[in-house]
């Protein structure tokens, strides 16, 4: 067939956007290991091992902890549609694109959704959530721990208390934070949480780690209606990941191999060491950007270490710089999302991509791009400031 496209032959990128992040070659190798059946005794063992490792990474003992066979957005939908039923009230905290998405998902599942809004880049206080819950009973409160669209980190401990005092379940988006900053499912008393594989887990996109507390499991067990989605119905999926091993759908075998290896890499390093690495590289990048005169879009107290949302300097063409970074230097960074489009860049330092090498490479490349755009930059200052931060 002369019209066949050429075989896949991707360019080598340094993935410093909002995800996917750089993947460790050990993960790619695992992904390419021989496929076995989804009920093969070997794969069942892999599943057990993954559950154990996912619990360690989520810092939980929740039995219902597994990988949804879809991306992070499928993980969001899985958490929402299992917890809420038509007519249930749900409070969704929206300070970015992903809070908005959660409200949309909950509405489709038949929930009566109340949206509590904060401007993009800000975070919520426990008091304002407590005030918002001061009315009719709410089934669940949904909130984003690390808003990938804005770069803001939401403190959760106090909020968890007011949510539970109001008798609601706490549903948390950990897509971008998991394995890059503290996520303490049990200590924070989170009832349902989801993540994605392509952020700080540094695995290709395609699976969504989720965990449900025993309290959430009880709520699901007492539902009056079927879960809106058959594919994401934990009352059936649990019988495949659990000891029954009842066929539900055919698990993505090779993607799970990849996640297994990615989890091994996380635990080899150790969670605390990994959080510290993300923090250290964030600080160095911050110092380097400051030296280049670039400002963050989020207040310092609430910045994500793994996703740096910064204001595009005045007079600089957004698309031109991102394209030059990609084509000349092989570096992908993210554009602003939603109302932040053209306003911010999102610079990821996630998982395997959170390295001193990448911080320095990016600052050096950005300096070249800014000079071309006529922004006055003293040569080498960004790199020097970052290097100093490691000292």
- The verdict on 1 binding a copy of itself (CB under 8 A) reads yes
- Give which of 253, 206, 211, 250 is closest to 234, Cα–Cα: 211
Provide the 3-class DSSP secondary structure of residue 90.
strand
Q: Which of 154, 160, 176, 198 binds a copy of itself (CB under 8 A)?
A: 198
We find the least distance from the C-beta atom of residue 8 to a copy of itself, in angstroms, to be: 5
Measured CA to CA, the distance from residue 18 to residue 308 in angstroms comes to 9
> Does an H or E element contain 94, and which?
strand 89-94
Q: Pick out residues in 3-62 that bind a copy of itself (CB under 8 A).
A: 4-5, 7-13, 15, 17, 19-20, 22-23, 26, 28-38, 40-43, 46, 49, 52-53
Provide the 3-class DSSP secondary structure of residue 217.
helix
Q: Pick out residues in 332-351 that bind a copy of itself (CB under 8 A).
A: 332, 337
- 339 class by beta-carbon count within 10 Å (0-12 exposed, 13-18 middle, 19+ buried): middle
Closer residue to a copy of itself, CB minimum distance, 12 or 221? 12
We find the least distance from the C-beta atom of residue 108 to a copy of itself, in angstroms, to be: 5
Measured CA to CA, the distance from residue 79 to residue 157 in angstroms comes to 20
We find the least distance from the C-beta atom of residue 305 to a copy of itself, in angstroms, to be: 20
Q: Which of 247, 342, 372, 388 binds a copy of itself (CB under 8 A)?
A: 247
Q: Please state the length of the chain.
A: 391
Closer residue to a copy of itself, CB minimum distance, 125 or 355? 355
345 phi/psi in degrees, rounded to 5: -110, 150
Give bridge partners of residue 68 from the DSSP assignment: 208
Closer residue to a copy of itself, CB minimum distance, 28 or 390? 28
10 Å Cβ neighbour count for 329?
A: 17
- The verdict on 326 binding a copy of itself (CB under 8 A) reads yes
Quick note: the x/- pattern for a copy of itself over 272-311, rule CB under 8 A, is: ----------------------------------------
Q: Which of 57, 74, 129, 200 binds a copy of itself (CB under 8 A)?
A: 74
């Amino acid at each position: 067939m002369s019209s066949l496209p050429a075989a896949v032959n991707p360019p080598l990128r340094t993935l410093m956007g909002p995800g996917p992040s750089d993947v460790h070659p050990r993960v790619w190798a695992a992904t390419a290991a021989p496929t076995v059946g989804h009920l093969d005794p070997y794969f069942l063992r892999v599943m057990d091992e993954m559950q154990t490792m996912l619990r360690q990474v989520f810092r939980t003992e929740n039995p219902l902890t597994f990988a949804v066979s879809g991306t992070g957005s499928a993980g969001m939908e899985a958490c929402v549609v299992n917890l809420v039923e038509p007519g249930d009230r749900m409070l969704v905290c929206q300070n970015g694109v992903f809070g908005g998405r959660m409200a949309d998902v909950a509405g489709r599942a038949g929930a009566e959704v109340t949206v509590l809004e904060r401007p993009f880049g800000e975070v919520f206080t426990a008091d304002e959530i407590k005030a918002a819950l001061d009315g009719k009973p709410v089934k669940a409160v949904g909130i984003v721990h690390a808003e990938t669209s804005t770069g803001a980190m939401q403190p959760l401990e106090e909020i968890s208390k007011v949510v539970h005092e109001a008798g609601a379940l706490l549903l948390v988006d950990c897509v971008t934070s998991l394995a890059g900053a503290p996520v303490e499912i049990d200590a924070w008393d989170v009832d349902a949480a989801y993540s994605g594989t392509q952020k700080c887990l540094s695995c290709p996109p395609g699976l969504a780690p989720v965990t449900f507390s025993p309290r959430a499991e009880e709520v699901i067990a007492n539902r009056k209606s079927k879960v809106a989605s058959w594919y994401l119905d934990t009352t059936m999926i649990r019988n495949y990941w659990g000891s029954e091993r009842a066929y539900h759908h055919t698990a993505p075998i090779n993607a799970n191999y990849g996640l297994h290896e990615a989890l091994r890499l996380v635990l080899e390093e150790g969670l605390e060491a990994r959080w510290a690495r993300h923090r250290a590289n964030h600080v160095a990048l911050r110092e380097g950007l400051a030296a280049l005169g670039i400002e963050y879009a989020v207040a310092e107290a609430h910045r994500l270490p793994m996703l740096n949302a910064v204001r595009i300097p005045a007079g600089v063409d957004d698309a031109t710089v991102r394209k030059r970074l990609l084509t000349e230097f092989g570096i992908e960074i993210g554009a602003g999302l939603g109302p932040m489009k053209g306003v911010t860049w999102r610079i990821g330092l996630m998982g395997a991509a959170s390295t001193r090498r990448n911080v320095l490479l990016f600052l050096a490349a950005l300096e070249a791009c800014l000079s071309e755009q006529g922004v006055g930059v003293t040569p080498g200052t960004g790199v020097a400031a970052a290097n100093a931060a490691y000292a």
